[in-house]
Amino acid sequence: MTTASTCLWFDDRAEEAVQFYLTLFPHSRILHTTFYLEGAPKPPGTVLAIRFTLNGAEYLALNGNPSFPFTPATSMVAACDTQEEVDTLWEKLSEGGEAGQCGWLRDRFGVSWQIQPRPLLALLTTEDRAASQRVFDAIRPMRKLDLAALLQAHAGPA
């Protein structure tokens, strides 16, 4: 069966980024590393690409060149089971990067991430439109998402 995965185009920091990401997600590993050969735009033996998994999902990190920088138009989404996981990923991924709004950040490699509590989608798509609106309104001023505050917004005024 055909599969699809994401390729992350770095200038020359693919190996550093992959090693960092592997520390953040369980069940993650490098599957294969490919190196530049003679006649390539980078010195022979330099890392060209790394196939790796983050908690079982496969990705490719490519050392291309600076022609195509990352933008928030493409982002990685990390669905977290607990607020502790949200807090940990937020702290580690935003270090040396830039914290954004509504659970978004850019890591030190320029990759945009959405750090979300796993229940978020269900809270935003409930049949109770007023509850979903309250959750949406609660998210807008947040930087790092706060699951307890989102659940409270969904429940409504006491």
pLDDT digits (tens, 9 = 90+) for 78-124: 999 999 999 999 999 999 999 999 999 999 999 999 999 999 999 99
Q: Is 48 left (phi over 0), alpha (psi -120 to 50) or beta?
A: alpha
Q: Is 37 left (phi over 0), alpha (psi -120 to 50) or beta?
A: beta
55, 80 contact by CB (below 8 A): no
Residues in CB range of 11: below 8 A, 6 or more apart: 63, 64, 65, 66
H or E element, residue 18 = helix 14-24
pLDDT tens-place values along the chain, 158 residues long: 888 999 999 999 999 999 999 999 999 999 999 999 999 989 999 999 999 999 999 999 999 988 899 999 999 999 999 999 999 999 999 999 999 999 999 999 999 999 999 999 999 999 999 999 999 999 999 999 999 999 999 999 87
pTM recorded for the entire structure: 0.92
